[in-house]
Amino acid sequence: MADPTEPAEAASTDGDATSGGGATVVEKPKGPRRVGVLLVVAVLAFLIDLGSKLLVVAKLENHAAIKVIGDVVTLQVIRNSGAAFGMGQALTVVFTMIASAVIVVIWRIARRLYSLPWAIALGLLLGGALGNLTDRLFRAPGVFRGHVVDFVSVQHFAVFNLADSAIVCGGILVVLLSFRGSNPDGTVHQQTEKGDK
């Protein structure tokens, strides 16, 4: 029997059993919305990616690779028609549409965004997606079919750009936040044992 002095919300969650035999406790959102943080991170990621691509195209394209760490890490311009790390090169238009959809989804989530870590993660994803989408729209051979500029080459791995790096870092952060039970709206889901007070 629930303690009448406890808040109604806490009492109502006691009966929501999960498959693990616990109850889901949801904390209320705290603090202000974090759309501003998301936009700042996205703009910074986008501008850094755009600036790096403009620089390497002007200075490195059609030149010999520059060794950064011996033969392990080099800088060389590659025009990539596929997705991140050169995958799916025959599906340029498809990846353009996927990037557009990702941007729309992130913007919809932003309307209820109260978590600072989620704002950073989604900002990285948004900035990276915008960076590569810009190449798809404005680089040769044409709109929606433009080739992405990749220039960081890691031996036995792939050639990628800073937008790819932002997407990967943002994705990893999203996974970690999800495992911790954190939600974009600032709530936290925690599993508690059935007899715990």
Torsions phi, psi for 46 (to 5 deg): -65, -45
Question: How many residues would you count in the chain?
Answer: 197
Q: What is the pLDDT of residues 35-92, one digit of tens each?
A: 999 999 999 999 999 999 999 999 999 999 999 999 999 999 999 876 555 555 556 7
| pLDDT one-digit tens code per residue, 135-181 | 989 998 888 888 999 999 999 888 899 999 999 999 999 999 999 99
- All residues at 6 or more sequence positions from 27 whose CB lies less than 8 Å from its CB, including other chains: 186, 187, 188, 190
DSSP-assigned letters across all residues of 106-132 = HHHHHTT---HHHHHHHHHHHHHHHHH
Q: Are 147 and 79 a contacting pair, CB within 8 Å?
A: yes
SS3 147: coil
Q: What digits encode the pLDDT tens for the residues 122-136? A: 999 999 999 999 998
Q: How far apart are CA 126 and CA 38, in angstroms?
A: 8
pTM of the complete model = 0.78
Distance (Å, whole) CA 89 – CA 147: 9
Helix 116-138 to helix 92-110 angle (10° resolution) is 150
Rounded Cα distance between 116 and 35, Å, is 9
Q: What is the pLDDT of residue 142?
A: 86
The pLDDT value recorded for residue 85 is 52
Contact 183, 116 (CB under 8 A): no
**What is the Cα–Cα distance from 161 to 151, expressed in whole angstroms?**
6
Catalytic residue positions, numbered = 150, 164
- Give the per-residue pLDDT at 28: 57
Q: Does position 99 have pLDDT exceeding 90, yes or no?
A: no
- Residue pair 153/74 in contact (Cβ under 8 Å)? The answer is yes
pLDDT of 87: 57
